[in-house]
């Protein structure tokens, strides 16, 4: 018991000493560390570099299993994505084959019907791509200025289109620049028809972003969303060119939104169709021998 008491007294005495001098001891330790940091930086750097060189291989060895697991996981993830993409591509390929077969059948049917009806193909067209350099949009006109250079194939009243639809027609041709009258211009009139039921009308511009569909037969069935194409009447525009979509139907008028994006036109195509050759006199006379008798 006496030994325990003596030991307890000694420990309590040491605790009191530590409490008294703890602040001083901590201050001295901090001061020593500051001195070491200022004076022995080379030693510290050497020690850290040696530790890095020693432990880096060990860390690399320890990381190898985790790296291998990550690579295996990425491999199987890529395999799964490739499998899904392959599945989608196979389905798309099947659909494309079906569409291709249908298109081939329709092409054959079209050829047979063309032969049956003695159908004559339209004249081949020639296209010239030009750059739009300016736009004239005000209360009196909607037109574009295109740089045509010294191209002699550009002529008045030729059709102007983009990859989306009809833009208008060539109004004037200059030495280097040409003016294009847009379908929204107040002077523009285009014979058109509805694609679904072939109802004919006139697309009239009024300097509005959405031209009007006029002169349609009374009682015609016209709905919002119907596509408008050229009808080929009057000969300036051939039939079948996409023009716009019916967007508004009111008691006063029917508005059509053009398919061509007039806000971002940079390049347009000026299209010209080959002129129909006049039949030779000999061929006509051979086909109609009575004409020779009448002439005599």
Of 249, 204, 210, 250, the C-alpha closest to 226 is 249
Q: What pLDDT, on the 0 to 100 scale, is given for residue 286?
A: 40
Domain count along the chain? 3
Q: Where among 120, 155, 182 does a domain terminate?
A: 120
Residues 61 and 135 in one domain: no
Q: Going by DSSP bridges, is the β-strand pair 177-182/166-173 parallel, antiparallel, or unpaired?
A: antiparallel
Rounded-to-integer distance, Cα 168 and Cα 258, Å: 11
Token pair belonging to 12: 């309590």
Asked, for residue 113, whether it belongs to a domain, the answer is yes
Residues 105 and 170 in one domain: no
| Torsion, CA 145, CA 170, CA 126, CA 150, rounded to 10 | -50
Provide the residue range defining the domain that includes 21. Answer: 10-39
Q: What pLDDT, on the 0 to 100 scale, is given for residue 182?
A: 94
Integer distance in angstroms from the first to the last C-alpha of the chain? 162
Residues 48 and 17 in one domain: no
Residues 132 and 244 in one domain: yes
Q: What pLDDT, on the 0 to 100 scale, is given for residue 11?
A: 66
Question: Which parts of the chain have pLDDT scores under 50?
Answer: 276-296
Rounded-to-integer distance, Cα 271 and Cα 45, Å: 78
Residues 148 and 258 in one domain: yes
Residues 150 and 268 in one domain: yes
Q: What pLDDT, on the 0 to 100 scale, is given for residue 280?
A: 43
Three-state helix/strand/coil letters over 213-278: EECCCCCCCCCCCCEEEECCCCCCCCCCCEEEEEEEECCCCEEEEECCCHHHCCEEEEEEECCCCC
Q: What pLDDT, on the 0 to 100 scale, is given for residue 63?
A: 73
Residues 35 and 152 in one domain: no
CB 159 within 8 A of CB 241: yes
Q: Where among 60, 89, 120 does a domain terminate?
A: 120
pTM: 0.53
Residues 171 and 191 in one domain: yes
Residues 87 and 141 in one domain: no
- Output the domain CATH number for residue 250: 2.40.10.350
Q: What pLDDT, on the 0 to 100 scale, is given for residue 114?
A: 74
Residues 73 and 134 in one domain: no
Radius of gyration of the CA atoms of the chain, in A: 43
Asked whether the CA dihedral 55, 57, 61, 64 is positive or negative, the reply is positive
Name the residue with tokens 């018991």. 1
Residues 20 and 107 in one domain: no
Q: Residue 113: is it exposed, middle or buried by C-beta count within 10 angstroms (0-12/13-18/19+)?
A: exposed
Asked, for residue 289, whether it belongs to a domain, the answer is no
Report in angstroms the alpha-carbon separations of 212 from 105, 137, 142, 215.
38, 18, 15, 10
Name the residue with tokens 């050229």. 230
Residues 234 and 138 in one domain: yes
Q: What pLDDT, on the 0 to 100 scale, is given for residue 18?
A: 63
Asked, for residue 279, whether it belongs to a domain, the answer is no
């Amino acid at each position: 018991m006496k030994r325990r008491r003596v030991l307890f007294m000694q420990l309590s005495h040491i605790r009191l000493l530590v409490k008294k001098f703890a602040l001083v001891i901590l201050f001295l330790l901090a001061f020593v560390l500051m001195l070491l940091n200022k004076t022995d930086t080379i030693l510290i750097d050497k020690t850290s570099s040696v530790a890095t060189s020693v432990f880096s291989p060990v860390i690399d060895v320890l990381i190898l299993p985790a790296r291998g697991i990550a690579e295996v996981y990425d491999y199987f993830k890529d395999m799964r994505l490739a499998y899904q993409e392959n599945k989608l591509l196979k389905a798309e390929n099947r659909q494309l084959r079906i569409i291709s077969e249908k298109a081939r059948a329709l092409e054959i049917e079209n050829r047979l019907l063309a032969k049956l009806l003695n159908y004559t193909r339209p004249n081949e067209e020639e296209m010239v791509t030009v750059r739009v350099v300016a736009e004239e949009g005000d209360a009196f006109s909607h037109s574009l200025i295109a740089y045509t250079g010294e191209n002699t194939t550009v002529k008045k009243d030729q059709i102007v289109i983009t990859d989306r639809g009809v833009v208008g027609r060539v109004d004037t041709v200059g030495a280097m620049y040409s003016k294009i009258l847009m379908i929204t211009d107040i002077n523009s009139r285009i014979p058109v028809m509805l694609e679904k039921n072939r109802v004919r009308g006139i697309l009239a511009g009024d300097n509005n972003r959405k031209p009007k569909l006029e002169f349609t037969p009374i009682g015609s069935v016209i709905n919002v969303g119907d596509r408008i194409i050229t009808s080929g009447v009057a000969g300036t525009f051939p039939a079948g060119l996409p023009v716009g979509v019916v967007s508004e139907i009111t008691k006063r008028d029917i508005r059509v939104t053009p398919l061509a994006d007039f806000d971002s036109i940079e390049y347009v195509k000026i299209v010209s169709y080959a002129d129909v050759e006049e039949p030779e006199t000999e061929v006509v006379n051979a086909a109609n021998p009575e004409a020779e008798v009448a002439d005599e």
